[in-house]
């Protein structure tokens, strides 16, 4: 077993006494080191039950369990190999009564949490249209990650209305959990920490038992997890943590990178071993990763190297727009598969946001390339997309009963499942469609209470139909639906990362509509829905054993592929606009670590793509090549960066459109010319702004906020807004499209 290890790995295996920090670079064999280290301890007469190995996910724990069983053999079952949560459950099931719970406590999942918070909001008369249940869940979870209890949280709120509201719900929520003898997943760690802090007998018992503690993916730990580990390893301090600060990309989930960066401050006697030899990638790929990540200040120095071949240079391709980008990637994959260089399953497309998958999905369907979305669902199967398409279907002809039923109470209108069932029953009796039954709601005596709400819904649909017949474009129609229903406002009020991702998906649907109207001589709502149906009907495709993988960069951590495409490398997309405009360099450093993760997923070939202009919410925006591409040593790249603006009247380009028509199964008429908007040359006068300093405004992504300053900058205005959920943002008025409330 040990002969397979390199010198640094072997050193890590044999260093068993005292605190140890193993800085394991991407692809450096850290799991092999951990399992070998456990085997070495047992060979040196350490009792298996004295060893605790903790990781994050059940999948990772299962894989480590299998490796440990194979490496150790007899006695392996006595070793605790578990996730943080399962470790805590084992402790609490025995000793929860020491901190005021019964040992057979209930564990609440997210649905239970949401229901409980909804009940609390009703009790406290809190408007759940302004304060979403998921927002409270995220805020409470964040507080628990940092070991902040309800009393401390209320103190930190310091009279702030929003924070005070969160504090009130947090206090009631924890009180209700205790009353119900229940814990949520965050409590499993928090309450275990409290148990170990308050009960010296229990703490000493576990400190004595776990003479050796090992933690995988240490860069992803939060404050509560750090404290748990510190307490468990408190007697012997034979604590071995394995991680890579350069792959710390989960700050939004509460990960605290300072845990790994400051390990030597917490444990001054710590020994540090760097695993820098990579077994996955070519040297050119590693050189690219090294040249990017060295621009981060908040990191521990290490340089990846390999005995693998130098390999091909990184391919950089810059396109006019996202359509050309998707066209190139699909054809490049098809060509490589045809020539036998790679199979479909060797290829992965990685991107910053879920919404980016749409163009690739459509190209793959057109080219009959099998693919699978990892860590998400196909674009047209996402809830928010299906909801808005159901609105369009209902307005188009309302003959799709499923579509009408889907959105009759989305967003909530007080039309419940019982009412829908009664209307459906009436429709069946009369032999008519569900929507036709809604038109006759006054004839259905059993739904008299909800009749007025149903009539309001029907009136909305009829008004939208009238506007469409009066010349409203499809894009204007979808924006009207979003505005009138408050669909995006609800997501903004939720304020979570998931909600922001959904808003981005809605923006991408608007892009699709704008592209359709651009490319078709006589666009119609029915025609658009027909095109989407042809593209979206992929659920019936047989599952392929060979398929291209599409996923976000966050989902790709821990995976590897022979042929990787990093797509959408533009400032404002990756790194994101929010990280660039935050003024906080640590936000950009987090994005740079994400780039490092993306690069190091590639084994043999890496292709990076960028678009000079990209459609955002139906408008053409110009973009510069990502700063991360420019940080790669130019000698490692093929292709050049062109920062001059394209002088084209037609978008997407003639070449891309021509190729699309020749290869797509969708027949389109020739596209009308459209001039791309150059926002840098926009000309606004103060009278054209509908808001002034001190006004409340709404932004499609950032939600509601207060205008703090308006400054003329060239031929546009720079507007500073303090947003309720996202803090201070500066933006140009033409880009921002702020609406006065």
What is the distance of C-alpha 149 from the center of its chain?
27
Q: Where are the alpha helices (DSSP H) in 470-620?
A: 474-485, 487-494, 497-519, 525-536, 553-556, 577-581, 585-599
Query: Do 106-180 and 379-430+447-534 share a fold?
Result: no
25 a known binding residue?
yes
pLDDT at position 663, please?
38
Give, for 169, the enclosing helix (H) or strand (E): helix 161-179
Tell me the fold of 106-180: Arc Repressor Mutant, subunit A (1.10.10)
CB burial of 291-316 (b: ≥16 within 10 Å; e: otherwise) equals bbbbebeebeebebebebeebebbeb
- 548 Cα distance to chain centroid: 20
| Fold of the CATH domain 2-96+189-277 | Rossmann fold (3.40.50)
Backbone angles phi, psi at 474, to 5 degrees: -65, -40
> What is residue 680's predicted lDDT score, i.e. its pLDDT?
33
For residue 4, what pLDDT is reported?
A: 87
Q: Give the homologous superfamily in CATH for domain 315-375+541-636.
A: P-loop containing nucleotide triphosphate hydrolases (3.40.50.300)
CA proximity to 291, closest of 30, 12, 606: 606
Tally Cβ neighbours within 10 Å of residue 547: 17
Contact 574, 626 (CB under 8 A): yes
Residues whose CB is less than 8 angstroms from the CB of residue 308 and which lie 6 or more positions away in sequence, other chains included: 278, 279, 280, 281, 282, 283
> Do the Cβ atoms of 22 and 263 come closer than 8 Å?
no
How distant is the alpha carbon of residue 323 from its chain centre? 23
30 given a catalytic annotation: yes
Is-catalytic flag, 497?
Answer: no
- The Cβ of residue 538 has, within 10 Å, a number of other Cβ atoms equal to 16
Q: Rounded distance, CA 699 to CA 475, Å?
A: 18
Name 645's Cβ contacts closer than 8 Å, sequence gap at least 6. 612, 622, 678
Does the annotation flag 414 for ligand binding? Answer: no
The residues near 302 (Cβ < 8 Å, ≥ 6 apart) are 23, 25, 246, 274, 276
Which alpha helices (H) appear in 305-448, and where do they start and end? 322-339, 357-367, 383-396, 401-407, 417-430, 434-439
Nearest residue to 154 via CA among 164, 144, 142, 139? 164
Q: Compute the chain's Rg from CA coordinates.
A: 28
Residue of 217, 325, 396, 716 with catalytic role: 217
Question: Which of 154, 156, 158, 157 shows the shortest CA–CA distance to 174?
Answer: 154
Whether the CB-CB separation of 605 and 312 falls below 8 Å is answered with yes
Q: Is 348 annotated as a binding residue?
A: no
pLDDT digits (tens, 9 = 90+) for 692-731: 888 888 887 677 888 888 877 555 677 888 877 766 777 7
Exactly one of 37, 465, 601, 604 is catalytic; which is it? 601
Q: Which of 165, 207, 225, 247 is catalytic?
A: 247
The answer to whether the beta carbons of residues 602 and 315 sit under 8 Å apart is no
Count of H-run helices and E-run strands, the chain? 31, 22
| Annotated active-site residue in 184, 186, 216, 346 | 216
Residue 361 CA to residue 351 CA, distance in Å, equals 13
Closest residue by Cα to residue 732 from 720, 741, 724:
720
Q: Residue 26 annotated as binding?
A: yes
Domains of the chain: which residue ranges?
2-96+189-277, 106-180, 315-375+541-636, 379-430+447-534, 695-740
Burial of 397 (0-12, 13-18, 19+ CB in 10 A): middle
Tell me which residue has tokens 């002034």. Answer: 692
Written as six digits, the tokens of 351 are: 């991107």
| In 5-132, alpha helices (H) | 7-14, 30-43, 58-72, 84-95, 110-123
Q: Is 635 a catalytic residue?
A: no
**Could you tell me if 730 and 647 are in contact, meaning their C-beta atoms sit under 8 angstroms apart?**
no
Residues 664/666/667/671 CA torsion (nearest 10 deg): -80
The region, left, alpha or beta by phi > 0 then psi within -120 to 50, assigned to residue 18 is left
Q: Say if residue 82 carries a ligand binding annotation.
A: no
| Number of CB atoms found within 10 A of residue 10's CB | 16
| Nearest C-alpha neighbor of 364 from the set 378, 383, 354, 385 | 378
User: Among positive and negative, which fits the CA dihedral 164, 168, 169, 173?
Assistant: positive
Measure Cα distances from 509 to 200, 454, 519 in Å: 57, 27, 15
- For residue 733, say whether it is annotated as part of any ligand binding site: no
Query: Residue 366 CA to chain centroid, in angstroms?
Result: 27
For residue 638, what are its two tokens? 């093929």
Beta pairing class for 182-184 and 106-108: parallel
Q: Is the dihedral of CA 470, 472, 474, 479 positive or negative?
A: negative
Phi then psi for residue 603, to 5 deg, are -100, -50
Q: Is 379-430+447-534 a CATH 1.10.486.10 domain?
A: yes
Of the chain, the end-to-end C-alpha distance in Å amounts to 67
Is residue 507 annotated as a catalytic residue, yes or no? Answer: no
Cβ–Cβ under 8 Å, residues 225 and 84:
yes
Tell me whether residue 29 is annotated as binding.
Answer: yes
Q: Rounded to an integer, what distance in angstroms lies between the CA atom of residue 651 and that of residue 613?
A: 9
Has 27 been labeled as part of a binding site?
Answer: yes
Write down the pLDDT at residue 714.
52
Question: Which residues, 6 or more positions from 111, have their beta carbon under 8 angstroms from its beta carbon?
Answer: none
Q: What is the pLDDT of residues 568-600, one digit of tens each?
A: 999 999 999 888 888 788 899 999 999 999 999
**Mind giving me the DSSP string for 438-505?**
HHTGGG-GGGGGGHHHHHHHHHHHHHHHHHHHTT--HHHHHHHHHHHHTHHHHHHHH-SHHHHHHHHH
* Structure confidence at residue 675 (pLDDT): 36
- Is residue 601 part of the annotated active site? The answer reads yes
Residue ranges, the chain, pLDDT below 50: 537-543, 646-684
What pTM was computed for the model?
0.75
Q: What is the pLDDT of residue 687?
A: 57
Angle 691-692-698 (CA atoms, 0-180°, nearest 5)? 45
State how far the Cα of 735 lies from the Cα of 741, in Å rounded to an integer.
18
Q: Is 465 a known active-site residue? A: no
Q: Find the angle CA(382)-CA(383)-CA(388) to the nearest 5 degrees.
A: 105
Spell out where 516-675 has E strands: 548-552, 561-566, 602-611, 613-616, 619-622, 637-638
């Amino acid at each position: 077993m040990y002969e397979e290890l390199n010198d640094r790995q072997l050193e890590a295996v044999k260093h068993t006494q005292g605190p140890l920090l193993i800085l394991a670079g991407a692809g450096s064999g850290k799991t092999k080191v951990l399992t070998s280290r456990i085997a070495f301890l047992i060979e040196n007469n350490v009792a298996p039950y004295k060893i605790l190995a903790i990781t994050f996910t059940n999948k990772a724990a299962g894989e480590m369990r299998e490796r440990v069983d194979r490496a150790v053999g007899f006695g392996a079952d006595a070793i605790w190999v578990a996730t943080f949560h399962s470790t805590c459950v084992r402790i609490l099931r025995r000793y929860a009564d020491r901190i005021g719970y019964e040992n057979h406590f209930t564990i609440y999942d997210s649905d239970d949490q949401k229901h409980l918070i909804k009940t609390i909001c009703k009790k406290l008369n809190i408007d759940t249209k302004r304060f979403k249940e998921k927002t409270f869940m995220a805020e409470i979870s964040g507080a628990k990650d940092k070991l902040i209890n309800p009393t401390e949280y209320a103190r930190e709120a310091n009279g702030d209305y929003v924070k005070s509201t969160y504090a009130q719900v947090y206090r009631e929520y924890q009180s209700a959990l205790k009353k119900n003898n229940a814990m949520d997943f965050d409590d499993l760690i928090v309450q275990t920490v409290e148990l170990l802090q308050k009960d010296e007998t229990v703490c000493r018992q576990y400190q004595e038992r776990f003479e050796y503690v090992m933690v995988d993916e240490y860069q992803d730990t939060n404050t509560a997890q750090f404290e748990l580990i510190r307490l468990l390893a408190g007697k012997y301090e034979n604590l071995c943590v394995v991680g890579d600060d350069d792959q710390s990309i989960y700050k939004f989930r509460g990960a605290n990178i300072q845990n790994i960066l400051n390990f030597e401050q917490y444990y001054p006697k710590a020994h540090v071993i760097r695993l820098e030899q990579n077994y996955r990638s070519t040297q050119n790929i590693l050189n690219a990763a090294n040249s990017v990540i060295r621009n981060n200040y908040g990191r521990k120095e290490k340089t990846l190297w390999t005995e693998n071949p130098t390999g091909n240079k990184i391919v950089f391709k810059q396109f006019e727009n996202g359509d050309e980008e998707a066209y190139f990637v699909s054809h490049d994959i098809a060509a490589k598969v045809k020539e036998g260089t790679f199979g479909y399953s060797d290829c992965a497309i990685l991107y910053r946001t879920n919404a980016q998958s749409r163009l690739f999905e459509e190209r793959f369907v057109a080219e009959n390339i099998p693919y699978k979305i990892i860590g998400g669902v196909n674009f047209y199967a996402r809830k928010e997309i299906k909801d808005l398409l159901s609105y369009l279907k209902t307005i188009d002809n309302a003959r799709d009963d499923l579509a009408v039923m889907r959105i009759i109470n989305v967003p909530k209108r007080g039309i419940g499942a019982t009412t829908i069932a009664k209307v459906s029953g009436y429709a069946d009796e009369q032999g008519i469609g569900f929507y036709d039954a809604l038109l006759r709601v006054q004839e259905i005596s059993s739904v008299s209470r909800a009749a007025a709400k149903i009539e309001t819904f029907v009136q909305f649909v009829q008004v939208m139909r009238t506007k469409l017949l009066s010349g409203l474009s499809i894009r204007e129609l979808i924006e009207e639906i979003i505005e009138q229903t408050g669909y995006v406002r609800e997501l903004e009020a939720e304020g979570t990362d998931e909600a922001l991702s959904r808003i981005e998906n809605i923006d991408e649907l608007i892009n699709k509509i704008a592209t359709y109207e651009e490319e078709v001589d006589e666009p119609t709502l029915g025609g658009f829905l027909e095109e989407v149906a042809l593209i979206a009907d992929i659920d019936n495709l047989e599952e392929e054993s060979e398929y291209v993988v599409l996923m976000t960069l966050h989902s790709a951590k821990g995976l590897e592929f022979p042929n990787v495409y990093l797509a959408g490398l533009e400032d404002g997309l990756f790194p994101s606009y929010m990280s660039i405009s935050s003024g906080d360099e640590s936000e950009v450093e987090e994005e740079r670590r994400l780039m490092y993760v993306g690069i190091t997923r590639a084994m043999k070939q890496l292709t990076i793509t960028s678009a000079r202009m990209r459609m955002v919410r139906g408008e053409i925006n110009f973009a510069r090549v990502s700063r991360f591409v420019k940080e790669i040593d130019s000698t490692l790249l093929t292709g050049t960066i062109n920062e001059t603006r394209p002088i084209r009247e037609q978008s997407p380009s003639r070449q891309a459109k021509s190729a699309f028509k020749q290869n797509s199964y969708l027949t389109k008429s020739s596209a009308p010319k459209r001039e791309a908007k150059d926002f840098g040359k926009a000309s606004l006068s103060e009278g054209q702004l509908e808001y002034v300093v001190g006004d409340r405004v709404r932004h499609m992504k950032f939600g509601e906020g207060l205008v703090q300053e308006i400054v003329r900058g060239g031929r546009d205005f720079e507007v500073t807004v303090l947003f309720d959920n996202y803090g201070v943002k500066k933006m140009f008025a033409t880009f921002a499209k702020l609406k006065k409330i």
